[in-house]
Amino acid sequence: MRLVSFLALGALFAVGLGISGMTQPLKVLGFLDVFGAWDPALAFVMGGAVAVTFIGYRFVLARPHPFLGASFDMPSRRNIDVQLLAGASLFGVGWGLAGFCPGPALVALASGSLDVVIFVAAMFVGFLAKDLLVASDAAGPGLHADVP
Amino acid sequence: MIEPGSIPAALFGGALIGVAAVLMLALNGRILGVSGIAAGLIAPTSTDRLARALFLVGMLAGGVAIAVFLPSALPGAVSGNVLLLIPAGLAVGFGTRLGGGCTSGHGVCGMSRLSGRSITATMTFMFVAMVTVFIVRHLLEGN
């Protein structure tokens, strides 16, 4: 049941990304082009997602435990450090160059474009390079590794 | 027919992303962060590789559904220039791991938790991406 939920949620998430416009790199670059012919539509993606998540999280976290697990596994770190800022900046450069962030790039593999395959392969090399080059936290990665 | 990326579609698609994030927490007690889930598939030390793999298979299946029913949503990559796509992919991969999250983990889930780290990260990558587009489009390409 738990494993089925991961499969289904991956599909739901991907369909949301596709409908939203986030899987169109040119559209993303138009949204990021605030100093040019700015296309604000994608601001509504983050707006819609955060509105639903902000409200939904409050109801969910009022429960004693998740439906398919023993406890909630929430990120505990609070510190804003150099790694956070450097990592977010580097991510911003890549996102601004290609118009893909990780989720939409994975969904876009279904386009069959070899260019997307090249981008995703480079992204996975980047994931691995960080693990090999930068010491990770003592706690080790959970499912979300060390997201917020 | 929905026009992917129009304002109503952006709002609806965003809401679906939010529903997926809420259900991930409600069912499994986890944050829905794509870079963390995907990176953990190949990380030297990791847990739950099967669940991670199934999430990515689900994403690919969703992508195939989009390709069939809403093909204009999946145009592929903008740049066919491998010299650009490879450093871009490396920067996205390395940067999201170093910063501990991407648009989903920090942007959607973290901002909804009012996490100071996530709000800082999101403001940072949005700003840097906008500056990058400005440099490429308006300074280098001279549009």
**Gyration radius of chain A over CA positions:** 17
Residues of A within 8 A of B14 (CB-CB) are: 16, 20, 44-49, 51-52
Tens digit of each residue's pLDDT (9 = 90 or more) over A80-117 = 999 999 999 999 999 999 999 999 999 999 999 999 99
Does the predicted interface ipTM exceed a cut of 0.90? Answer: yes
Residue B79: the pLDDT is 77
pLDDT tens digits for A16-75? 999 999 999 999 999 999 999 999 999 999 999 999 999 999 999 999 999 999 999 999
Q: What is the pLDDT of residues B95-109, one digit of tens each?
A: 999 999 999 999 999
Contact A19 B56 (CB under 8 A): no
The whole-angstrom distance between B140's CA and the closest CA on chain A is 12
pTM of the predicted structure, to 2 decimals = 0.93
CB contact under 8 A, A124 and B98: no
Average of per-residue pLDDT values in chain A = 92
C-alpha to C-alpha distance for B87 and B83, rounded to whole angstroms: 7
- DSSP, collapsed to helix, strand or coil, labels residue A56 as helix
Residues contacting residue B7 through CB under 8 Å, at least 6 positions apart: A41, A44
Reported as a single tens digit per residue, the pLDDT across B41-63 is: 999 888 899 999 999 999 999 99
Give the single-character DSSP code of B103.
Answer: I
Answer whether B76 sits within 8 Å of A78, measured CB to CB: no
Q: Are B9 and A16 in contact (CB under 8 A)?
A: no
pLDDT reported for residue A57: 98
Q: Residue A140 above 50 pLDDT?
A: no
Coil, strand or helix at B110: helix
Beta strands in A32-97 (DSSP E): none
Residue count (chain B) = 143
Nearest CA to CA, how far is B118 from chain A (Å)?
6
Interface touch B63/A93, C-beta < 8 Å: no
pLDDT tens column, B6-38: 999 999 999 999 999 999 999 999 999 999 999
Residue B1: the pLDDT is 64
User: How far is the C-alpha of B71 from the C-alpha of B55, rounded, in Å?
Assistant: 22
| pLDDT greater than 50 at residue A137 | yes
pLDDT in tens, B99-139: 999 999 999 999 999 999 999 999 999 999 999 999 999 99
CB pair distance less than 8 Å for B4 and A19? yes
A5 to chain B, any CB pair closer than 8 A? The answer is yes
- A142 forms bridges with which residues in the sheet? A145
Q: Among B5, B61, B125, whose Cβ lies nearest the Cβ of A91?
A: B125
Tell me, what's the pLDDT at A135? 75
Minimum CA–CA partner of B57 in chain A: A7
Model confidence at A146, in pLDDT bands (50, 70, 90)? very low
* R_g of chain B, CA atoms, integer Å: 17
